[in-house]
Amino acid sequence: VRHSDYVIRYGGDEFCVLLVDVNEHLLWRIAERVRERIAAIRFEGTTARVSGSIGALICRPESRKKIVPKKLIAHADSAMYESKKLGGDRVCAYQLYGRRKTRLEVPQSSA
């Protein structure tokens, strides 16, 4: 992540990464880079694989005053569980406009 971002251990094996001032393209680029680096982890003497199930949420400026941080975490958490449900080792992302949450597809330039 960038120097302006925050990585927080949220509990157990869950982490929260707060990205500051991003658009959809940058969100996907950073999330995929994190996912790829997790997948590249190797443990000496074993064939065990590590993978990440990443849930992401972009909160548009007009939504920031209308929603509490706990609800933002809940939206990102549900996206993470969707990623796990789809087999893991992937990113599921949403954007929040007001109170409406819509799925973010991978931008063509990030695929």
Which residues are designated catalytic? 13
CA 53, CA 31: separation in Å to the nearest integer?
10
Locate 24 and state its tokens. 């959809």
Question: ∠ CA 58-63-64 to the nearest 5 degrees?
Answer: 85
E strand intervals along 19-61: 53-59
